[in-house]
Each structure stands twice: as structure tokens, then as C-alpha cells.
Amino acid sequence: MALSVGLVGLPNVGKSTTFNALTKASNAEAQNYPFCTIEPNKAIVPVPDIRLQALANIVKPNKIQASTIEFVDIAGLVKGASKGEGLGNQFLATIREVEIILHIVRCFDDENIIHVEGSIDPLRDIEIIEGELILADVEQLDKKIERLQKKAKLDKKAAAQLVIANELKDHLDELNPVSTFASKDSEDFKEFDSELRFLSNKTIIYGANVDEEALLEDNEYVKILKKYAESKNATVLKLCAKVEEELIDLEDEEAKEFLTELGVQSSGLDVIIKQAFNQLGLINYFTAGVTEVSSWTIQKGWLAPKSASVIHNDFEKGFIRAEVIAYDDYIEANGEAKAKENGKLRLEGKDYEVKDGDVMHFRFNV
């Protein structure tokens, strides 16, 4: 299953530089003026997972296939984006397609890099961006309400939906995000969200773009951002776009050494993907054969047949059983044959809940 992360923020906060660093490809133009990114840049990136290589070292397959994540670099938003300012409507439409928003917030001083608002203020910047997301949702909801009003007199379902829609409209008019709407667990709301894909209902991770010093010790901007995020039950990830960009041309071992020298354990890519997976409740299982060792992303809690569907729909339709070896058991046994000999290979049926790291082989018949 695809995971898509959209990078948003004001112009000149480091989005395109971060995108280049995360995707290890300098294909997103980064310049010191607003709207240098016009079309959204997209990149499919393999999910880093040391377990995949460990399995490959045992199996020695012809091919290694990692799970992937899509990063979308969306042009800098400004005040009035919901009304089309700075080509805002075009950019907001792109955000609707992603699962998670990575909101890059500038948390460093540098007089050589222009800030579109003239000063560094993380909370003001967040208010601008998130306010535009809410206003865009209002516009979408207004159109839906118009349609429901025409149907409500003759359609009981439309009448019930109209009640929820008007409640949501009142909520948004007070500049509250959809994510805090009291009735968001109702079936009528879920139907709205499935159709309209509310921007202010998406999971947001705040990316504090800092200088090297603040990587180790939070500066005042980061402290302010973390306090705000805590009040919203959101997560703040620190990254230094400049440092991440320097990692692009380094080999894995060189990159590790470079990060160690800075006192940092993981790259921005690793941290962002891990947090994105956690936020969306995703896990990976593996298939391991001589032809290919692969990683597959599924929702935590999925049963075996549904989990098999990410390989091919036929696997779910004709599911018979799954052969399962826990990752640690597979590694300890140095492969499937010894794991089976040790009694670590299990046969699981349709009710088996797949666990993170399971090494699986599906039996099916269609």
C-alpha cells in the first residue's frame, strides 16, 4: 500500500531543500525567492529497513524489493492561498491526495535567507498555513451543503447529513480544524471525509528546520513549536535541511560517520518514515525467496488474507493458509530450512493477525 507524505510550509522555509535531501535527488529547485516550486515535485523513495538486507544476506536473492514512500514537495503557501493567492488553489488540491502532511517550519535565523513574512515566528507561520487549510475546507463544505439542501426535502439520508454538515460548518467558521470536530466518528462525517478529503483532518507532523547547533540542543523557536505541538497532540521532528543535503552524495558508512560526528543517530529520512508509519499504524512483513526478497506495507491489525492482497488481489480471493516464521527466528536459524527444522515455521489460517517482521509464504487457489 502506498504511503504519501506532502511537504508544506511558507515559501523559503526549506521545503525544497528538505525534499532534495530526503529523496537524495536534487530535482526540486531551491532558490531564495517565493514560488520557485510551481508544479509539485514527486519522488518514490525506498523505505530504509535493515531487516530487509539481513534477510537478503541469508537468501542471496536475484532482487531486493523494498517498500516505498512517496514524498510530494508542494509549493510554498501564503495568506489567501484558499482564495487562489500565489496559485494556492492548485497547491491545496495536491495536498488532498496525501496521507500525511509534513509541515516544515523555519526555526533558525539567517539574514541571508528571506522570510516571506519578514521575521522568524513559528506559531505565526503555522497559523497562516493551517488557517488556509481550514478556509479551503470551508469552501469545499459550502458546496456540499448547497447540494444537500436541494436533496434534503425528499431524501432522509441527505437531511441527516445536512445536520452534521451544518454543525461542521459552525465548527470550521470558528477556525477550528476538522480534526477536532466532535462528531468526526459518525458515519455521515466519514462519508463526507471520504468524498471531500478535508485538509485540516489530515495527520500533521511538524518538521522543525534548524541550524546545526539546534540539532543537539533545542533553540527557543523549537521550544515554542514543541509546546504548541504538545497542546495539539502532534509530533515535532527536528531536522537540519542543510545537513541532510550534505548526506546526499555520501555512502552509507560515510553518512553514519558524519551523523555520529554531529551527535545525531538517524537521518531525517529514517526519522520521518518511522514517525509516518507510527502515525498511520503501518507495519511491514516480508517474503523471502531466491527470486526476490521483498518488504510489504500493511495496516497494523490486518488479517492474513487482507495482508496477502498487497502482493496480488488473487492472494486474498483464493487464500488457503500462510506459512509464517517470525523475523528473529528466521535470522537465528539462518534461513527457512533450519527454522522449519526447529519448529519455528507455523501454518496460520484466515484469522491470523500478521505481525511486524513476519516472514511469510501464502498458499492460495483461484
Least confident of 23-32, 57-66, 212-221: 23-32
| Same-domain pairing of 257 and 308 | no
307 among the known binding-site residues? no
pLDDT at position 1 = 60
Determine the average pLDDT of the residues in 5-27: 77
Question: How far is Cα 12 from Cα 120, in angstroms, rounded to an integer?
Answer: 11
The answer to whether residue 25 sits within a structural domain is yes
Mark whether 181 and 211 lie in a shared domain: no
Range of the domain at 312: 301-364
Q: Which amino acid is at 213?
A: E
CB 16 within 8 A of CB 30: yes
pLDDT of residue 94: 77
Q: What is the pLDDT of residue 78?
A: 53
Model pLDDT, residue 319: 95
pLDDT of residue 43: 81
Same domain, 106 and 14: yes
**Cα separation, 332 vs 163, whole angstroms:** 58
Co-location of 25 and 80 in the same domain: yes
Q: Name the β-bridge partners of 46.
A: 68
3-state helix, strand and coil shares in percent for the chain, rounded to the nearest 5: 45, 20, 35
Per-residue confidence (pLDDT) for residue 76, from 0 to 100: 57
pLDDT of residue 30: 39
Q: Is 6 annotated as a binding residue?
A: no
Q: What's the pLDDT at 77? A: 56
Q: 280-291: per-residue pLDDT in tens?
A: 889 999 999 999
pLDDT tens readout for residues 261-270: 878 777 777 7
If you search the block for the grid coordinates 495536491, which residue do you land on? 94
Q: Both 266 and 207 in a single domain?
A: yes
**Phi/psi at 38 (nearest 5 deg)?**
-100, -60
- End-of-domain residue from the set 179, 198, 217: 198
Whether 184 has a binding-site annotation, put simply, is no
The residues that bridge with 353 in the sheet, in sequence order, are 303
Q: What domain count does the chain have?
A: 3
Whether residues 9 and 97 share a domain: the answer is yes
**Domain annotation covers residue 284:** no
Query: By the 8 A CB rule, do 20 and 27 touch?
Result: yes
pTM of the model: 0.82
* 14 is an annotated ligand-binding site residue: yes
Q: Which helix (H) or strand (E) holds 138?
A: helix 122-151
CATH code of the domain containing 20: 3.40.50.300
* H-assigned helices in 152-267: 156-173, 187-196, 212-216, 220-231, 241-246, 252-262
Q: Are residues 218 and 268 in the same domain?
A: yes
Could you give the angle at which helices 122-151 and 88-95 cross, rounded to 10 degrees? 80
DSSP designation for 310: T
Q: Reading across the β-sheet that carries 100-106, which strands appear in turn?
A: 41-46, 68-73, 4-8, 100-106, 203-209, 235-239
- The CATH number that applies at residue 330 is 3.10.20.30
15 CB burial (10 A radius; 0-12, 13-18, 19+) = buried
Confirm whether residue 291 is marked as ligand binding: no
104-114 pLDDT, tens digit each? 999 998 888 87
* Per-residue pLDDT, 35: 35
Q: Identify whether 287 is part of a domain.
A: no
Same domain, 37 and 159: no
- Is 15 annotated as ligand-binding? yes
Domain match, 226 and 322 both? no
Answer for the pair 358, 285: CB distance below 8 angstroms, yes or no: yes
pLDDT value of residue 80: 52
Same structural domain, 249 and 355: no
Closest CA to 359 of 332, 328, 326, 334: 326
Q: Would you state the pLDDT for residue 36?
A: 37
